[in-house]
Each structure stands twice: as structure tokens, then as C-alpha cells.
Amino acid sequence: MWSSEPAPAGPLRVAEPEQAAQARVSWGVAALLVATQDALSARFGSVTVRGELSGFSRPASGHCYFSLKDADGAAALLRCAMFRRAAVMVDFAPADGQQVECRGRLSIFEPRGELQMVVESLRRLGAGTLYEEFLRRRAKLEALGLFDPARKRPLPAFPSTLGIVTSLAAAALHDVLTTLRRRAPHVRVVIYPSPVQGAEAPPALVSALSLAGQRREVDAVLLVRGGGSLEDLWAFNDERVVQAVAACPLPVICGVGHETDITLCDLAADRRAPTPTAAAEMAAPARDDAWVAVQARGAALQRGMVRALESRQQRLDGLAARIGQPARSLLSQKERLADTARRLQRAVQTRVLRQAEALPPWSARLARALKVQVDAQRLRLWAAQQRLSAHDPHQVLRRGYAWVEDAAGKPIISVQGLAPGQAVRAVWADGRAITEVKTIEPLPPEA
């Protein structure tokens, strides 16, 4: 609208349209964010959004932070925050990959100037595409026995060398090295570098695990990565990586993500750690704790030895006391034995004296009986000598007989033992003669 009144004195000012004037207003950042948030509240109010959970976390405060993405794979992401008063009303355990329906209001997170949704209620709709694929792979690999608890191997109690499979740029590597340096600085570390995210991660992880198994230069392998969404951790759900973990000849500790993150490598590994730091703590016992345990064990052994020595000393004292009592009893028995010996000696002497008094008549009777026995034996001996003399061949020879013997001195008792021309000896009582057999004349048999 134009005016016909004269223009006031001063600089000339040209009138501008209303929209152009607003465009020239200079906003402060905070004021613009507040105005935008008021516009969102006035335009949308309470909204309900459907999508797939991603990057879900619940810190110690009890608040929940996550993102919603379209299940059809569209490149759209909405950051969400659900405070503790609303989180306690959720009747399920939210996890990445789940399809949910959120009701809340849109707002601007002023510290970062980001659009976010403050969720007042959360309802589960179903599993997301990745989560369904996770469940399918899990069932397949479980049927192959890769998750069987019986194949889990124990970890080395006191490893000297540990292998780490992770990215050189990963924060998890720094956490693991810091933990090992603090807990077990004596443990040597070998790093098998590999990307842990993206399409190139699965074959690289398989190669790193295979290299560690071939070299056999470490006691156990730590497969670690920091937290992230289900998509970020998807390389650890790759079947090739899971099979490489199960086939690794070395014990494998898998510490991927946060405590709420579960990957298929966690299920196939010999031990699952909730975080990379926990994996380092699980792999190597703290040197100070081991030293304290050794000292405690040494003190316990020393106390046990002292108790054993004291017990043996008590037993020795008891045995000594028991041995001292028989010694006194033995002395008493010795005195009784000496007294009995003296009494026995007196009794024997008395008995001998009594027997000596009765000995003279018995000695005379014994002498007479002995003389009778000797005379009888002498008579029997004389009779035997007479009978023996009667059978002596020399006595026969004295009566005019002779016997004939051969050259060897054997008697010839029959003509059957003679042969004509044989030399024989004839023996008499006073000599012998050597003769020769001329003829042999056997006597006729008696009728």
C-alpha cells in the first residue's frame, strides 16, 4: 500500500514485503532449534512410528537409546530416546533387528541439533529382516553342531602368549592391550589384523583365524570388536567366520559388542565375553591376583606344615609317655623276677638237701642192680662169642678141613665153578697150596 503524504525527513527507507522481512531476521542457534521444536510439536503432536530396532543400548541410568530404520532397507534412520519411566513399562527385552511400533513425540536434541523421537511406549511387532536371517543362520549352524557345549575347550590357566584378531584402528584393540598391560604385563601379544565391519571383513577374519591356527604361536585367540548396531556386527554372524571360529585349533574367546550383543561367533567360540575388556580379563588372570593366591597358598601350606609338625610332636610326646610307663612296670617285674629266682634257688637247695639225705640206701640198691645187669650182659656176651667161634671157618680148618678158592680169593663152593687146567688155592689151618685142576668128577645126585 502506498501513501500520498510527504515523506518524513531523514534517510529514504524502501518498504519490503512481509516474507522478505522475515527472511532477513537473524536467528540464534538455540532460538532456531526451539522454534523448530515448537513447530514440530504444533504440526505433529503425538506420533506412532513403525520400524526396526538398531543400535539399542541401555546404560546404567535405565534410559534406552536406539534408532529406528525402515525394514525394507530404505536409507532412513530416526534416533530415539526412551527415558526410564517409560522403559520400565516395556514388557519384552528389546534387541537389534526387532520390528517395533513406537508412540511418542518428535523433538530436537539441542546439543547436537538432531531430530529425535522421545518414545513414550514401545510395542513389539515382529523380527526384522536381519534378525530373521540371524535366527535362520543360528538354527542352521546349531544343527551342524557348531554350538555344542561338549566341543568347548578349556582356556589355558596361565597363558604366555595371546593372539588378538581385530582391526588395528579399533578401540577394542586399545581396550584389550590396556587391560593386558595392567593385569598381565608378562603376557606376550600377537596381533592378526583384520577389518571387523563391511563386506571385506568376513574373508579377512577367516584368513586371520586360519593364520593363527597355522602358526600355533599363541595359547589362545581373542576375537574382539567394539559395540554397534546389528548391521555393524553382521560380519560376526557370517557363516564362514563362525565355521572358522569353530575350526580353529586354538581356544577362542569372542568379545564382540556390548553385554547385550549376541553374535553367532559368540555361540561358536570356546568362551563368550560380554565386552573386549572382559575378554582380556578372561584370557589372562591378573598377575597381582595370582601372586596373592600363591602367597595365600604358601601361607596355607606353611600353616598346614606347622599343624602337622605340632600333631606329630604331640603324638611323639604321647608315645614317650606310654614308653616311660612300661619301663617302670618292667623294673617292677624285674624285681619280682629276682625275688622269684631267689626263692626258687632256696627251694632247689632245700630239695637237693632232702634228696641227699635219702640218697645212700638208693645208691646201694642202684649199685646192686647195676652189678646184676652187668653180669647178665657179660654172660650174654660170652655165649654170643662161643656161638660166633663155632661158626668161624678157621676153627673148622683146625679140625682137618680145607677150603678151595680161586686166584681172586673167592671161595669155590661147587665143582661147577671149576675148569680143567684152572689154578686154585687150597687153604688149611696152617697154610695153603696152589694146585691145578686135572679132572672134574661131579657126584651123582642123591636118590
DSSP string, 385-413: HHHHHHT-HHHHHHTT--EEE-TTS-B--
Q: What is the pLDDT of residue 31?
A: 85
117-150: b (≥16 Cβ within 10 Å) or e: bebeebebeebbebbeebeeebeebeeeebbeee
Q: One-letter amino acid identity for 184?
A: A
For the record, the C-alpha cell of 8 comes out as: 518524513
Within 8 A by CB and 6+ apart from 166, the residues are: 172, 173, 176, 191, 193, 194, 196, 222, 223, 224, 225, 276
CA 370 vs. chain centroid, Å, equals 94
DSSP string, 140-189: HHHHTTTT-GGGPPPPPSS-SEEEEEE-TT-HHHHHHHHHHHHH-TTSEE
Single-letter residue type at 129:
T
The pLDDT of residue 360: 67
Below-50 pLDDT ranges, the chain: 1-17
**CA 42 – CA 35 distance, rounded (Å):** 10
Give residue 417's pLDDT: 77
One-character DSSP codes across 76-114: -EEEEEE-HHHHTT--S---TTEEEEEEEEEEEETTTTE
What is the enclosing helix (H) or strand (E) of 336?
helix 287-357
Q: Which helix (H) or strand (E) holds 428?
A: strand 423-428
The pLDDT score that the predictor gives to residue 325 is: 63
423: three-class secondary structure by DSSP: strand
Which spans in 191-286 are helix H? 201-215, 239-247, 264-268, 276-283
Using the structure block, give the residue that is written with the C-alpha cell 575378554: 279
Q: Are 225 and 170 in contact (CB under 8 A)?
A: yes
